[in-house]
């Protein structure tokens, strides 16, 4: 009897919610709980990527990127004069960090979304920038790239 109490106390402390439900109602309930949590998280991500025209998931923040690839994304957007975008720091939230990889079906961070649509990671954004495609894509979003004005000046 003591053993059961001790085990339950330990589970409550560690917040092992799935273990407790398994004890009470069997495996099925715990699987359902996990599914509900993950689909709720996915739905949240869907809203997040649609809420703003430009959405990026990076390590760190635009002011202080914590990874070279994330920094590249921030710098490219800055060069084009895009300063009004949503940036989510995956280092702050492990659920987002893992969730967005599942949601996008893309294995790495950073991740870029335009108008709720996945664009790619740092490589793709860089190539789009170099090829001129990025200026065009921004135009489709109704954003005028700063590079267009620079060209006019020179």
Partner 1 sequence: MSVTPDLIREKLTAEIGAIHVDVEDTSPNRCAASFKVLVVSPQFEGKPLLQRHRMVNNCLAEELKEIHAFEQKTLTPEQWEKQKAQ
Binding interface with partner 1 (CB under 8 A): 69, 105-108, 118-124, 127-128
What is the smallest separation between the CB atom of 49 and partner 1, expressed in angstroms? Answer: 15
For residue 20, give the H/E element and its range: helix 17-25
Nearer to partner 1, 17 or 120 (CB): 120
Do 122 and 73 contact (CB within 8 A), yes or no? yes
What is the smallest separation between the CB atom of 152 and partner 1, expressed in angstroms? Answer: 28
Nearer to partner 1, 8 or 108 (CB): 108
The whole-angstrom separation of Cα 20 and Cα 26 is 9
**What does each C-alpha distance from 84 to 4, 69, 73, 81, 130 come to in angstroms?**
55, 20, 14, 9, 22
Nearer to partner 1, 33 or 124 (CB): 124
What is the smallest separation between the CB atom of 91 and partner 1, expressed in angstroms? Answer: 14
Residue 65 sits at the vertex; the CA angle it makes with 75 and 69, to the nearest 5 degrees, is 65
What is the smallest separation between the CB atom of 53 and partner 1, expressed in angstroms? Answer: 18
Nearer to partner 1, 126 or 146 (CB): 126
């Amino acid at each position: 009897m003591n053993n059961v109490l001790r085990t339950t106390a330990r589970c409550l402390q560690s917040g092992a919610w799935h273990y407790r439900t398994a004890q009470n109602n069997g495996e099925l309930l715990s699987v359902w709980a996990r599914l509900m949590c993950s689909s709720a998280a996915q739905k949240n991500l869907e809203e997040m990527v649609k809420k703003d025209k430009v959405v990026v998931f990076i390590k760190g923040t635009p002011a202080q990127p914590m990874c070279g690839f994330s920094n590249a994304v921030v710098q490219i957007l800055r060069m084009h004069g895009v300063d009004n975008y949503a940036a989510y720091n995956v280092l702050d939230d492990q659920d987002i960090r893992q969730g967005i990889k599942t949601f996008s079906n893309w294995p790495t961070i950073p991740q870029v979304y335009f108008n709720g649509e996945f664009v790619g990671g740092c490589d793709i954004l860089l190539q789009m920038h170099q090829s001129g495609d990025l200026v065009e894509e921004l135009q489709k979003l109704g954003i005028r790239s700063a590079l267009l004005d620079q060209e006019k000046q020179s």
